[in-house]
Amino acid sequence: MANTTVGEALDLIGGELQDLISTVRAADQVPAERALDLLADADRVFVHGAGRSGLALRMTAMRLMHLGLDVHVVGEVTTPAIRQGDLLLVASGSGTTGGIVQAARTAADVGARVLAVSTTDQSPLSEVADTTLVLPAATKTDRSGTASAQYAGGLFEQGVALLGDALFHALWQRSGHSADDLWPRHANLE
């Protein structure tokens, strides 16, 4: 393996992210608009993902809370039962992660809506989801280097974080609230 500088790694990651953004922007925007409507119309939003995808969704949960949405992270001890009128926002690169797919089925069974983020809309998760936002990136098991030179789904996980921020920003702009309006919800026990 050749030595790579941090600068070269940043260039590679930045280039892959820019390509991902360009592809997502060029895609059909109907699912993205549906995603915004699902988030805006939900009584409560639950986020769920495994590993780094889950960490990226926790960032989204925080921003949605700043916007005033009632948000819960699945697996936390204070997370209530999901019910009709709620939304489960999940991320799974492959769309086959057992715990994520089962949570989506449980949510759908009780009448909650499901918004999925994945690398594909042809998976068990997408079959359950009301809407799937596709990020065309490598899954964690794709080590071919064709979809991304990054390790173990890194591009997908970065894309989940960026997509979450984009969803938040679009909802924030729709709300008409200023940054000062959101600030009182920012953590103050730091």
Residues designated as active site = 157
Task: Give 141's contacts (C-beta < 8 A, 6+ positions apart).
Answer: 94
Residue 170: φ, ψ to 5°: -65, -40
| Contact between 95 and 124 (Cβ < 8 Å) | yes
Q: Give the C-alpha separation, 68 to 73, whole Å.
A: 15
Here the contacts of 134-139 (C-beta below 8 Å, separation 24 or greater) are: 134/24, 134/27, 134/31, 135/20, 135/24, 135/159, 135/160, 135/163, 136/20, 136/23, 136/24, 137/16, 137/20, 137/93, 138/93, 139/93, 139/94
